[in-house]
Structure 1
Amino acid sequence: MAEHRDVRASDDDREAATRRLRLAVEEGCLDLQEFDDRVGRALGATTRGELAGLLADLPTERRQSLPPVRGGAPRWLKTLWAVWGAVLAVNVVVWAAVSVAEACPLDFWPKDLLAPAVVLAVVTAAHAARRRASLPSGG
């Protein structure tokens, strides 16, 4: 960002500056009030030079940055969890309605939907472990 100080700042430039300011708070270089002030000025900055001025007195980044993590679980896995949750919710509502209508409460048959949840949990855990193993170790 130091080069081309008079070039207009993009949203990505402003976001990078706010990430660096957030890291400076975590490192203990800025207090929360100064962080709040600088983030406000960073979001209102129009040139890269303004952003560079907000970061000039901070030490170079000490913590190794990991690549950005996007979205956690893949969309297909989130969709499966959402479908399972919706099916479970509908089954519980139907069970409750039928149990209220009956003189004697029915056996809680939506419990049979817990087996697919266990399978989904295992798939989710395996995906998370594989993803964690593929990330570079920060140290």
Structure 2
Amino acid sequence: MHDRDVRASDLDRDAAAERLRLAVEEGCLDFGEFDERLGQAYQSVTRGELADLVADLPAKRPQTPRKPAPAGLPRWLKIVWAAWAVIFAINVVVWGVVSVANACPAEFWPKGALPPAVILAIVTAVISRKRRKENGEGS
């Protein structure tokens, strides 16, 4: 009996699905074709049907080890911190000017910007801890 005629197992279907997923990552398939072929893979009865789904794809490239996440903070978080710092600084300067212009110093109203800083600090700590764990630096 020829191998193409052998009934496919769930493991065979999963292997074909993984190859199709890698083909999308490599840019060999678009999402529409991936979706169509994935459906066909899980409906395939024989190994030959699975082989036909991946026959036009280049040979599987060896998996390169994933790079660890960068050690620093993500760029978006740095931008949010910078924006908060600028807004807070402007508020402190305006408060200072208002306080100097009046005979009696105004209440320090920029303190209203501190709760978002606490939330940002918590988000920063969680992300930093997660990145340290991903890089194997312990907890």
Normalising TM by the smaller chain, what interval? Answer: 0.3 to 0.5
Greater radius of gyration (CA): 2
Give TM-score, length-normalised by structure 1: 0.48
